[in-house]
Homo-oligomer: A and B are copies of this chain.
């Protein structure tokens, strides 16, 4: 079975043109079949501000009203996605940028929550692995942004970590899938201010204890929960680490590996 790497690139990496360009060169050079998933960084928030759209964040999640959804679609599916695709093409990687609506790649439903209306935010129902696999089989590289659709004409703002995880899971029947979350830190850190305090391995056994002791920074918990969820569905390996270390992350010599044990 061929190997497939699903790489999520974090917003802070996208915000820095130089770091992003270096990452994309390194990503393009990976020989394995690969999929890139990206969110939006600060650009969407900045543009919404320029348009005079008030941003609401509740529990770290953006409330997506109709105007915010338009900005998200413009920035994620438009500017960022196409800039990434053009750069990958320039490095010899035959990238194809997709929102979840394109080829019905990511179908979701609008999140319903009795306590809070998140607006046009989607929770993923299905990934079109047939279409993604068709592209992969032609040595093309899908580049997915954090916009899905509901199949009834509504675009939905969707968490990019979740899209990466669901995409990895959907391709398990076809590939030995590895899921790499890359961001600005070298991995899961014991001390959030010390880049040398990377926890090399989080297992299902030590995770609860690490959380309880506060060794794992609260902001990392959703990422790790996603990672364990992915492992449980049959992803071969999940790794969290620095975007600039992509080669070493792929080789397994950098970052934090999340494993069963």
The docked-state distance in angstroms from the alpha carbon of A203 to that of B230 is 62
Known: A82-B102, A82-B155, A131-B138. 13 other contacts (CB 8 A): A76-B78, A77-B79, A77-B81, A78-B81, A85-B99, A85-B102, A86-B101, A86-B155, A89-B104, A90-B151, A90-B152, A96-B102, A97-B101
The docked-state distance in angstroms from the alpha carbon of A76 to that of B74 is 8
* B102 and A95 within 8 A (CB): yes
Residues of A within 8 A of B (CB-CB), count: 39
Listed residue (A73, A78, A147) with the most chain B CB atoms within 10 angstroms of its CB: A78
For A87, the chain B residues whose CB sits under 8 A away are 153
* B99 and A97 within 8 A (CB): yes
For A78, the chain B residues whose CB sits under 8 A away are 73-79, 81-82
Does any Cβ of B come within 8 Å of A149's Cβ?
yes
For A82, the chain B residues whose CB sits under 8 A away are 73, 77-78, 99, 101-102, 147, 155
A-side binding surface: helix, strand, loop or mixed? helix
* B50 and A86 within 8 A (CB): no
Does any Cβ of B come within 8 Å of A13's Cβ?
no
Q: Digit string of A35-77 for contact with B (CB within 8 Å is 1, else 0)?
A: 0000000000000001100000000000000000010011111
Does any Cβ of B come within 8 Å of A103's Cβ?
yes
For A134, the chain B residues whose CB sits under 8 A away are 134, 138
* A83 and B73 within 8 A (CB): yes
Instruction: Name the one of B86, B97, B153 contacting A89, with C-beta atoms under 8 angstroms.
Output: B153
List 19 A-B residue pairs with CB atoms under 8 Å apart, sorted by A's residue number.
A73-B79, A74-B78, A74-B79, A75-B78, A76-B78, A77-B77, A77-B78, A78-B81, A82-B147, A82-B155, A86-B101, A86-B155, A89-B151, A95-B103, A97-B102, A103-B140, A131-B140, A134-B134, A134-B138
